[in-house]
């Protein structure tokens, strides 16, 4: 746990005279003073670090290295000392602040290992209500069918930049190109499966196997086939492709189409095995630090649980 609440950070700022987050410091450049951006990073103290056994005050970190220690985390312990009096040990995680152009070099000189950035914003003016309002308006426009989701949400993002919730630089840095490339590469694959009849062929083959199975087995296989298909193509496309097959299958069995259509609806809504099965899966790919293979590790047990629960409930609520 990071041992620095907002009050202690503000006291530290008052002592050092340094402003946080959106503030600027002055640096010499050809005899002129220009603004330089302040950045924050998390770093871990390594065994070779100069910080081991010493305090921020004894090392004069701000004066000698141009950085401030804002918080310390130590294996879940609650540290009672003031930040300047804490003696660092190996494994401590420090939240440090300094000029963007010198922070990495200072950490390297001190023997600290920077951690992956998490978009920390300390001291940034809070505009939570305004941000929630803009997001709520965007969602309302989508829910009322006044604007497409892409247009409304993009407009909300632009409004957050205009109102100062995000700076243009922050908005640009938040664009994850890896997700854009992933979507750009996979959308044509899904379209190819639909237009060439590949998805239809896969669904037909799976359902032909189901003819020799009992009704519950056929229902489960239909559900599994739809789930697998929705992990490759859009969930709406998966439902459109499989629904006519489900109706024909129900007619061939002389049964009601309701349980089969419910299986299709549930299967199309449960794309847990890939990051491209649904927009929600893709959105958490980069922020969560997930890999493509992480989805099926959690998604496979969840899919099995969905199949077992859904088949039982469908047969109970919508009997054949």
- Is the pLDDT confidence value at 143 over 90? no
What does the H/E/C string look like for the chain? CCCCCHHHHHHHHHHHCCCCCCCEEEEEECCEEEEEEEEEEEEEECCCCCCCCCCHHHHCHHHHHCEEEEEEEECCECCCCCHHHCCCCCCCEEEEEEEHHHHHHHHHHHCEEECCCCCCCCCCCCCHHHHHHHHHHHHHHHHCCCCCHHHHHHHHHHHHHHCCCCCHHHHHHCCCHHHHHHHHHHHHHHHHHHHCCHHHHHHHHHHHHHCCCCHHHHHHHHHHHHHHHHCCCCHHHHHHHHHHHHHHHHHHHCCCCHHHHHHHHHHHCCCCCCCCCCHHHHHCCCCCCCCHHHHHHHHHHHHHHHHHHHHHHHHHHCCC
Q: Specify the pLDDT at position 1.
A: 42
Q: Please report whether residue 179 resides in a domain.
A: no
The confidence score (pLDDT) of residue 178 equals 66
Mean pLDDT (the chain, rounded):
75
Beta bridge partners of 37: 24
- Domain shared by 52 and 165, yes or no: no
pLDDT per position as a tens digit, 188-202: 766 676 677 766 676
Q: Please tell me the total count of domains within the chain.
A: 3
In a domain, 139, yes or no: yes
- Residue 125 binned pLDDT confidence (cut-offs 50, 70, 90): low
Q: Which residue range(s) make up the domain with 137?
A: 128-174
Predicted pLDDT at 58: 84
The tokens for 197 are: 């009849």
What integer pLDDT is reported at residue 186 of this predicted model? 61
Per-residue pLDDT, 74: 81
Query: What would the mean pLDDT of 71-92 be, rounded to a whole number?
Result: 80
Across the range 183-192, mean pLDDT stands at 67
* Same domain flag for 214 and 305: yes
Residue 1 lies in a domain: no
pLDDT of res. 124: 53
Shared domain check, 137 and 100: no
Predicted confidence at residue 56, as pLDDT, reads: 84
- Residue 203 has a pLDDT of 62
Same domain? For 50 and 79 the reply is yes
Question: In whole angstroms, what is the distance from residue 50 CA to residue 47 CA?
Answer: 9
Question: Torsions phi, psi of 156, nearest 5?
Answer: -65, -40
Evaluate whether residue 182 is within a structural domain: no
Query: Is there a contact between 230 and 270 (Cβ–Cβ < 8 Å)?
Result: yes
Q: Do residue 151 and residue 203 come from a single domain?
A: no
197, 289: one domain: yes
Same domain, 233 and 272: yes
Q: In the listed set 151, 174, 197, which residue is the last one of a domain according to the structure?
A: 174
Give the pLDDT mean for 140-150.
86
What are the pLDDT digits (tens) for 221-270?
A: 888 888 888 887 777 777 777 788 787 777 777 778 888 889 988 998 88
CB–CB of 62/55 below 8 Å? no
Provide the pLDDT for residue 288. Answer: 67
Residue 287 confidence class, pLDDT cut points 50, 70, 90: low
pLDDT band for 122, please (50, 70, 90 cuts).
low
pLDDT at 206 over 70: no
Q: How confident is the model at residue 305 (pLDDT cuts 50, 70, 90)?
A: very high
- Report pLDDT for 131: 86
* pLDDT tens sequence across 7-64: 444 444 444 333 333 333 333 334 333 445 677 888 888 888 888 888 888 888 888 8
Q: What is the pTM of this model?
A: 0.46
Residues 73 and 145 in one domain: no
Residue 206 domain-assigned (yes or no): yes
Is residue 224 in some structural domain?
Answer: yes
Do 168 and 192 lie in one domain? The reply is no
pLDDT category of residue 309 using cuts at 50, 70 and 90: very high
């Amino acid at each position: 746990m990071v041992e620095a609440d907002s009050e202690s950070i503000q006291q530290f700022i008052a002592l050092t005279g340094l402003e946080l987050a959106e503030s600027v410091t002055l640096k010499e450049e050809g005899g002129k003073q220009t603004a330089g951006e302040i950045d924050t990073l998390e770093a871990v103290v390594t065994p070779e670090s100069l910080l081991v056994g010493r305090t921020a005050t004894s090392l004069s970190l701000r004066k000698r290295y141009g950085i401030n220690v804002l918080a310390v985390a130590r294996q879940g312990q609650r540290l009672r000392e003031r930040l300047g009096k804490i003696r660092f040990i190996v494994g401590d995680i420090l939240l440090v602040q300094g000029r963007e152009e010198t922070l990495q070099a200072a950490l390297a000189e001190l023997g600290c290992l920077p951690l992956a950035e998490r978009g920390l914003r300390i001291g940034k003016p809070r505009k939570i209500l305004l941000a929630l309002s803009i997001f709520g308006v965007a969602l309302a426009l989508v829910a009322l069918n006044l604007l497409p989701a892409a247009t409304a949400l993009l407009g909300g993002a632009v409004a957050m930049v205009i109102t100062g919730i995000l700076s243009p630089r922050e908005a640009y840095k938040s664009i994850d190109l890896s997700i854009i490339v992933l979507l750009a590469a996979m959308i044509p694959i899904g379209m190819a499966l639909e237009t060439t009849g590949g998805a239809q062929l896969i669904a037909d083959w799976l359902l032909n196997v189901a003819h020799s199975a009992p009704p519950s087995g056929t229902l489960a296989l239909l559900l599994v086939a739809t789930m697998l298909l929705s992990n490759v193509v859009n969930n709406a496309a998966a439902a459109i492709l499989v629904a006519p097959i489900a109706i024909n299958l129900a007619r061939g069995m002389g049964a009601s189409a309701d349980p089969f259509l419910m299986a299709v609806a549930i299967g199309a809504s449960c794309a847990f095995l890939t990051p491209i099965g649904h927009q929600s899966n893709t959105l958490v790919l980069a922020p969560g630090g997930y890999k493509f293979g992480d989805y099926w590790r959690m998604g496979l047990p969840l899919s099995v649980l969905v199949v077992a629960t859904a088949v039982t409930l469908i047969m109970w609520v919508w009997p054949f």
